[in-house]
Amino acid sequence: MRFLDANVILRYLTRDDEAKAEACYQLFQQLKQGTEEVFTCEAVLAEVVYVLSSPRAPYRLSHEEIRGRLLPILTLRGLKLPQKGVYVRALDIYSAFSFLDFEDALAVAHMERRGTQEVLSYDRDFDRVPGMIRVEP
């Protein structure tokens, strides 16, 4: 099984190179049909979100737009990702709380999965997430 890097997802989502975007589209169609399988990791997802949301990049997409574009890719049958449900939930959290960056949304999703409400952090954004209790060490 091959590894899927962030730039393949980004080429497809941004269409900044039409030939590469079309090749990525064909790959994603194979993943959708289950005729191809690839795997990726949390770091790749974080990189994609960072690039799409960065004020220094040309895209500057909102949290909701990023969720809308990335969710169909995450749910492709041929895309293997350990704890895929956690990452889908992280996109939901990221979309719901525009003040959170994606990494913090991932942390909240992991905490929810483990049944943990308390986070050791100096990041006050956690104070604004219902059910989270931030404690400074």
Q: What does the pLDDT read at residue 40?
A: 97
Question: What is the spatial distance between Cα 37 and Cα 31, in angstroms, rounded to a whole number?
Answer: 6
Give the residue among 5, 84, 89, 108 at the shortest CA–CA distance from 47.
5
Give the residue among 125, 120, 66 at the shortest CA–CA distance from 97.
125
- Give bridge partners of residue 94 from the DSSP assignment: none
Tens of pLDDT, residues 25-42? 999 999 999 999 999 999
Average pLDDT of every residue of the chain: 95
Structure tokens at 112: 């929810």
Q: What does the pLDDT read at residue 58?
A: 87
With beta carbons less than 8 A apart as the criterion, state whether 116 and 108 touch: no
Q: Which helix (H) or strand (E) holds 10?
A: helix 6-14
> Tokens 């929810």 sit at which residue?
112
Tens of pLDDT, residues 116-126? 999 999 999 99
Structure tokens at 97: 């709380």
Domain that holds residue 25: 2-135
How many domains are contained in the chain?
1
Tens of pLDDT, residues 47-73? 999 999 998 878 899 999 999 999 999
